[in-house]
Structure 1
C-alpha cells in the first residue's frame, strides 16, 4: 500500500489538467486512472481500519462493498454519459477479472511459495452455486431478445430488466442473511491475530469519505476521456470496459488477494475474488439498472461473447476450486483463459 500512495501525486495533477482544459484524452485517461488506483487503496485501508471497531464480519462486508464502490462510481458517470456498452462491459469484466485474473494470480503466486494450499470447500461450493445462478440471471434477458418480436422489446424489455434487478437484489440480501445468521458456522474459521488499529475511528471515516469524493471527481474525468481516447488509440469500448476499468477500479483489492495467498490465507483470497464477483452481479449491476432510470433506462442485455466469457470463467473456476486445494498450475490455467479472453476483446 505504501508504494501505491506515491501515485497520489496524480490526483492534483489530473485535476489541474482538467481545469486548464488539456485537450489530450489519452493523457487525461491515464492520469485519472493512475489517480484512482491509490484512492481505491486508501478506501480499502480505511474500511480495514473501521473493521477493528465494527468487528471482523461487518468489517469484511464493508471491505467487499467499498472494494466495488470505485467501479460503481465510475459506472455511474458512464451511465450519465450514455456509455451503456462500457458499463455492461465493466460489469462482465469485473466478474471475469476477479474469477480468472485475481484468483489465478493468487493461486499461482501462493502455489509457488507453498506448493499446495487448502481452503474451505463448503464456502466455495456455496459461492459457486450462487455464481451459477447469477450468470443464469444475466443470460435469460439476452435469450429473451431472440424469442420476442423486435417491436415488443421497447415496451416489455425495460420491465424485464428492472424485474431481474429486483430478483438479484433480493437474492443478495438473502445470501447475507444466510452467511451472517442461519449458516454462519460454515463461514467460521480459526481465530487469527488481529492486532491493533493504526487509525482512530474518526480518522478512518474521514479518509473513507474524502477518498470516495476524490474517486467521484476522478471518475468523471476518466469517463469523459473514454470515447475520444478509444478513437485516438483505435481501441474498442468493450476492451476498455472488460479489461481496463476493472483493473483500474480493483487494483488495490487485487493486490491484497495475492498477498493473502502468499501468506497461505487462501480462504481470504478466494473470498475477495469470488465474493467480489457475486457482489458485482447481485448488487452493483442491479443498482446500476435502478440508477439508469434517472437518466435513460439501461437494458441488462449482454452480448453473446460477454455471456460466454462469464459462463466459461464460472465453469473453470468451479472445476479448479472444487477439491478444496490449489497449486500454481491451476493458477496458470486461470490466467491463460483470462489472457485469451483479453486478446479476443482487444480485436473485437
Structure 2
C-alpha cells in the first residue's frame, strides 16, 4: 500500500490559513460560514482560485532567475557539445592547423612550393568533416537528397576556384581541374567505395538502385557528347568560321546541358521520386532495415551551420592551393597537367572520397553513388557549362574543347563506369578494377604534355 504524500503549504498558503483561523475565532456570520465543515459546505472556489494564484506567483518569483540561468547554460551546452562532436571526435582533425600554417607561410615567405603541401594537408580533415556533416543531414532529408547535397557541397570548392581562375584568364586550368574532378569521382572515389564496402560487407552482395544509376550514366554520355563535338570540329578543321564556330557551338551546347540538368533535378526530386527510392529506404518501409537504431548526432540547424563554415574554409584554402600550383610544379618537377588533373581534384574531392567510403561501409551504396556519380554528373552537366556561360558574360573564351587526349580519357572512363553499373550490384573486385583504371589514367597524364601550352 502506497504511503500518502504529505503536501506542505507554502509561505503564502500558510499565512492565508492563519488569517482564516483568526476569522473563525471571531463571531461574525462570515467567519462562521467560512468555518463550516467540509460536509456542509465545500471549500469556496473563489478562495481556492486566489490561493492557487498566490502559490503560483510565489513559485514563479522564486524560479524565474533560475530558469533564465538554465536557458543560458543549455545554449552553452549545445554549442560545447556540437564543437566536441564535430571537431574533437576524429583524430584526423589533428591536421587542421596545417590550414592556418599555409596562410602564414604564404604571408611570411611567399614560397609557393612550401604553401602547396600545408594547404593540401589542411583541406583533408575539413573535407572529411564536410562529409560527416552531410551524412548527418541525410538523416533529415533521405538518401536521394542527401547524396545530392553531398555532391553540391563537395563541388562548391571547384565552382569557386573555377570562377576565380576564369577572372584571371586561366581557362585551361579550369578545364583540366574540372576534368580531373570527373575522372577522380568516377574511378577513384567510386572504386574505393566499392572496394571498402565489399570488404566490410563481404558476407552479402551489395546492391543499389540500378534505374537511378542508368539515368546518371545517360547524362554522363550526354556530357561526353557535348564535350566531344567541339574537339572533333577543331581537329578535323571543318569549322565554318575558323576560331569562332567552335566557341559558338560550345556556348550553345552549354545552354542545352544546363536545361537538361534542371530537367534532371525536377525529374529526380519531383516528377519521379519513386524511381530514386534507395534500397535502404525501401527496406525501412518494409520493416527490414537493420540501421533503425541510428540517429543523428547533431540537429539540422547545427548541420547547416557546420556545412557553411566548412565550405567557406575549404574555399579559402583551395585558393591558396591553386595559387601555389605552378610553384609546386617547378619545385617538384611535376607537369602542371598532372597536378591539375590528378593532385588538385584529389583534394577538392576529399569530401566525396571520405563520405562515399563511409556510406559504402555502412551498406548505403545509393548514397555512395549519389556522391560519386552524382558529383560527376553535376560537374559535367552544370559546373562546366556554367563556367562557359560565366566566361561568355565576362568576356573569357571558355569553350568545351578539352583537347583530344583529355576528351578520349573522359569518354573511356564513362564507358567503363557505365558497364560496371549495369548489373546493379557492387563488390570489392569491381572497386579494385576502377582504382587500377585510375592509376592508368594518372600515369598517362604524368607523361603527357599539354598541347595547348
State if a TM-score over 0.5 links the two structures: yes
- Shift, 1:188, TM fit: 1.0
- Written as runs of structure 1 = structure 2, the 5 A alignment for 1:56-75 is 57-75=144-162
- Shift, 1:282, TM fit: 0.6
Asked if the contact 2:136–2:298 (Cα under 8 Å) also holds between the matched residues in 1, the reply is yes
Asked if the contact 2:190–2:431 (Cα under 8 Å) also holds between the matched residues in 1, the reply is yes
Which residue of the other structure, out of 10, 15, 18, is the alignment partner of 2:106?
A: 18
> Does the C-alpha gap of structure 1 residues 295 and 15 become closer, same or farther in structure 2, counting only changes over 3 Å?
farther
- Shift, 1:32, TM fit: 1.5
Tell me how far apart the structure 2 counterparts of residues 104 and 316 of structure 1 sit (CA, whole Å). Answer: 12
Unpaired runs of 5+ in structure 1? none
Asked if the contact 1:79–1:295 (Cα under 8 Å) also holds between the matched residues in 2, the reply is no
Structure 1 residue aligned with 2:251: 162
RMSD of the TM alignment (CA)? 2.4
Asked if the contact 2:180–2:342 (Cα under 8 Å) also holds between the matched residues in 1, the reply is yes
Of the structure 1 ranges 153-162 and 301-310, higher mean CA displacement relative to structure 2 is found in 153-162
Of the structure 1 ranges 169-178 and 209-218, higher mean CA displacement relative to structure 2 is found in 209-218
Tell me how far apart the structure 2 counterparts of residues 54 and 123 of structure 1 sit (CA, whole Å). Answer: 18
Structure 2 residue aligned with 1:283: 382
Aligned length: 347
Asked if the contact 1:40–1:70 (Cα under 8 Å) also holds between the matched residues in 2, the reply is no
Asked if the contact 1:102–1:254 (Cα under 8 Å) also holds between the matched residues in 2, the reply is yes
Structure 1 residue aligned with 2:263: 174
Which residue of the other structure, out of 164, 167, 186, is the alignment partner of 2:275?
A: 186
> Does the C-alpha gap of structure 1 residues 260 and 47 become closer, same or farther in structure 2, counting only changes over 3 Å?
closer
- Provide Cα deviations, 1:196-253, integer angstroms capped at 9, x if missing partner: 4433444434333333332232222112111122122222221112111111011122
Tell me how far apart the structure 2 counterparts of residues 286 and 101 of structure 1 sit (CA, whole Å). Answer: 24
- Written as runs of structure 1 = structure 2, the 5 A alignment for 1:236-247 is 236-247=335-346
Tell me how far apart the structure 1 counterparts of residues 402 and 142 of structure 2 sit (CA, whole Å). Answer: 38
> Does the C-alpha gap of structure 1 residues 58 and 124 become closer, same or farther in structure 2, counting only changes over 3 Å?
closer
Secondary structure in structure 2 of the residue aligned to 1:152: coil
- Given the alignment of the two structures, is residue 292 of structure 1 paired with residue 391 of structure 2, yes or no? yes
> Does the C-alpha gap of structure 1 residues 202 and 322 become closer, same or farther in structure 2, counting only changes over 3 Å?
closer
Asked if the contact 1:108–1:331 (Cα under 8 Å) also holds between the matched residues in 2, the reply is yes
- Written as runs of structure 1 = structure 2, the 5 A alignment for 1:327-346 is 327-346=427-446
Asked if the contact 1:257–1:269 (Cα under 8 Å) also holds between the matched residues in 2, the reply is yes
Of the structure 1 ranges 43-52 and 2-11, higher mean CA displacement relative to structure 2 is found in 43-52
- Given the alignment of the two structures, is residue 78 of structure 1 paired with residue 178 of structure 2, yes or no? no
Of the structure 1 ranges 50-59 and 258-267, higher mean CA displacement relative to structure 2 is found in 50-59
Structure whose CA Rg is larger: 2
Structure 2 residue aligned with 1:143: 232
Secondary structure in structure 1 of the residue aligned to 2:349: helix
- Provide Cα deviations, 1:129-155, integer angstroms capped at 9, x if missing partner: 121111111111111213446793433
- Provide Cα deviations, 1:98-147, integer angstroms capped at 9, x if missing partner: 11111111222222233332222212222211211111111111112134
- Provide Cα deviations, 1:2-44, integer angstroms capped at 9, x if missing partner: 2332221112211212221x23222101112222223333444
- Shift, 1:67, TM fit: 1.4
Which residue of the other structure, out of 305, 311, 322, is the alignment partner of 1:206?
A: 305
Of the structure 1 ranges 266-275 and 44-53, higher mean CA displacement relative to structure 2 is found in 44-53
- Shift, 1:69, TM fit: 0.9
Of the structure 1 ranges 50-59 and 307-316, higher mean CA displacement relative to structure 2 is found in 50-59
Structure 2 residue aligned with 1:305: 405
Tell me how far apart the structure 1 counterparts of residues 422 and 358 of structure 2 sit (CA, whole Å). Answer: 22
